[in-house]
Each structure stands twice: as structure tokens, then as C-alpha cells.
Homo-oligomer: A and B are copies of this chain.
């Protein structure tokens, strides 16, 4: 809930009344809740205002678009709930990570990610924030695991790490967005398929 120096940073203001942090947090929490409960359709700035008890005009003052608000509410709420196992086998670690990602996509967070991607299609800045604040860090984690595997000789030395990343996450996102379901069995099948081609 604290990793949010992204926008509206405190800036060590010099003049005037400082921004009320309780208000800001109430807005972000309400945004997250509404997102998690009702999806994109029920997510409105008016709704966030009503739920948070913050004046609607205040929200308009600080967040430029609905998407930006949703994004920040999301980023403010996610705690590192993705498993980060580290065993002898990099393949096993990746499979565990992808299984945990599948659980994530099926739950509350998944619903919010869908909202963000959806509203980002008509608002590039939302997508940028999502990529910067969420996707890129996750990719870095995967990259680290894979490079560990390369270093240990478990994986091919000439492995295209970025493509492995895409081949694992791309299908998962797609299945979620197309309502095809992201269960652990399917995810195992996918990671099995992709990682089989990565072995040394």
C-alpha cells in the first residue's frame, strides 16, 4: 500500500495546506474495492467518491482519468502475492510461479487486471502505467529465474529469455481475457510445453 511515489508525490511542498493522505488512501481503497467487486462496468468516479466519502471534485483534481485512478488503486493494493520459490530446479520454480499466477488471474486481482487492460485500450497512459508498474517488474522476476537456469546449465545457453517470458504470460493473459479460464492444470500444460523447449 506504500509503493506509490508514482504520481502525486508529496514533493516536500513548501506552501499551503499539504495534501491529506487519509483522503488519498480512502480514494484508492474505494477504487480497488469497486474494481474488485463490480468490475469495470460498475467502476465510476462518482461511485468511488460515494464509497470513499471524498468529494467528487477532489478526485477530479488529482486523477486525470478513470483509468489512472483504477491503475493507482490497483498498484496501491497489490502486495507481493506471487510465489517466488527457489529450489534446485528452475523448471520447477517457473512452474510453481506460473501456477501461482494462474491463481492470481482467477481471483480478485485478475478481475482488476482485466479492467485495467480494458480501460487502457482507450487510454494509453493507463497501459503505460500498468506496464511500468506491474508487467515489467514481473518480467524481471521471470528473467532472473531463467538466467539462473542458464547459469546453472539447466537451460540452453542461447535461450531467448524474452520470448520465453512472452510465451508463458501471453497465453495466460489471452485465456483470461477471452473467458477461457486459467486453471492450474492448463497452466502446467503450458509451462510444460514452453519449458521443454528451453532445456539444455
Contacts and interface: CB of A to CB of B under 8 A. Distances in A.
Interface of A: 39-41, 114-115, 117-124, 127-128, 130-131, 135, 160, 163-164, 166-167, 169-175, 177-180, 189-190, 193-194, 196-197
A194 to B, nearest CB: 6
17 contacts: A39-B122, A40-B121, A41-B122, A114-B121, A115-B121, A115-B122, A117-B118, A118-B119, A118-B120, A124-B179, A128-B179, A163-B193, A167-B170, A169-B174, A170-B174, A173-B174, A174-B174
Contacts of A117: 117-118, 121, 177-178
Given A170-B174, A174-B170, A163 B189 contact: yes
Q: How many copies does the complex hold?
A: 2
Given A167-B194, A170-B172, A172-B170, A178 B118 contact: no
A190 B166 CA distance: 9
Nearest to A193: B163
Contacts of A127: 177-179
Contacts of A122: 39-41, 115, 118
Given A121-B115, A122-B118, A173 B173 contact: yes
